Homo-oligomer: A and B are copies of this chain.
Amino acid sequence: MLKHGILGLLNYGSMTGYEIDRTFKDSLSYFWSAQTSQIYRELQVLKKNGWATNEIIKQNGKPDKNLFTITESGKEELNRWLMEDKTEVAARSPLLMKTFFRGERSLEENIEYFSKLAGIGADFLKGMQNEPPEIDSYSKMVENPANAIYWKMTVEYGLMYAQMYINWAEKCKKELEALRDEHTAD
């Protein structure tokens, strides 16, 4: 998966591992986090597969740059991946795993838990609304402005998801509060 993300970025233009790492951390982290070490390792795989070539650029003072460029075969692989359809709605969710087993903890603690989730969701939403991932910085990077519509769609997903997440957490909280109030009413 990360391989294809890197191919997608290289398809916009040649980049060094460092730049790819920065892009993931600064702009794509809300839907994909990647470790620096993994990026450098995957770049070696891309090279081995013939999907990218590299070129050392001498610098003085700083370490040399290792600039990667996508090949024709890399572009084919990128397109193959984009066309393949293996779409699953449900994704692995640590959140739901934890929710599922919460019966082990007290009502009060769980009310607190969902309250915290709602708060975290609200912070995430606010963050996204105030400083949406820097679409403009990609626009400069890429000649074709048509891409921006797809970038915005991922942001839109983030906003809609965050809202749903908050609604869900609040609903859960209310259900537990109702349960608690039933008991204490006796």
A→B interface (CB under 8 Å)? 1, 4-5, 8, 11, 28-33, 78-79, 81-83, 85, 87, 89-105, 109-110, 116-117, 120-121, 124, 144, 146-147, 149-151, 153-154, 156-158, 160-165, 167-168, 171-172, 175-176, 179
Contacts and interface: CB of A to CB of B under 8 A. Distances in A.
Interface centre among A103, A109, A116, A164 (most CB of B within 10 A): A103
18 contacts: A4-B101, A5-B101, A8-B97, A11-B101, A11-B104, A31-B93, A81-B98, A82-B104, A85-B116, A89-B162, A89-B165, A91-B94, A91-B95, A99-B153, A100-B151, A100-B154, A103-B150, A149-B176
Contacts of A97: 1, 4-5, 8, 31-32
Contact of A30 (B4, B90, B167): B90
A117 B157 CA distance: 13
Contacts of A1: 94, 97
A121 B92 CA distance: 16
Instruction: Please name the 9 residue pairs, one residue from A and one from B, whose CB atoms are nearest each other, closest first.
Output: A103-B147, A8-B101, A31-B96, A89-B124, A164-B164, A31-B93, A102-B150, A96-B154, A30-B90
Main secondary structure on chain A at its contact with chain B?
helix
B82 A101 contact: yes
Given A11-B104, A103-B149, A153-B175, 8 more contacts: A5-B101, A28-B100, A79-B105, A89-B120, A89-B162, A102-B150, A163-B164, A164-B164
Contacts of A100: 5, 8, 28, 31, 150-151, 154
A162 B89 CA distance: 7
